[in-house]
Amino acid sequence: MRILLLRPMRNILQLTIKHNGTLQTQHIHSVRIWIAFGLKAAHLLLMDLSGWRAELSRRVVWGTDGILFLI
């Protein structure tokens, strides 16, 4: 499972939880964020330079330090 933490005015921190329970952290510096407003919910599309894409809608947690995505 991957967790993205978007911190305002900072980079994006990606936490990857491996199958054996270990935790791997990685900073993502170049991520483009598109916000498309729909009728029911706003969808955030994230795409980094390696090409993977994730559409995030209901699995968004707003926090004091940023926005937490569970993908």
Burial of 4 (0-12, 13-18, 19+ CB in 10 A): buried
Strand partners, 47: 32, 53
Are the CB atoms for 34 and 42 separated by under 8 Å?
no
Are the CB atoms for 36 and 42 separated by under 8 Å?
yes
Which residue do the tokens 């170049």 mark?
30
Residue 35 CA, distance from chain mean position: 13
pLDDT of residue 6: 60
- Tens digit of pLDDT for each residue in 5-50? 665 555 666 667 677 767 777 766 544 443 333 323 333 434 333 3
pLDDT of residue 5: 62
Q: What is the pTM of this model?
A: 0.34
- Tens digit of pLDDT for each residue in 46-70? 433 333 344 444 444 444 455 555 5
pLDDT of residue 36: 33
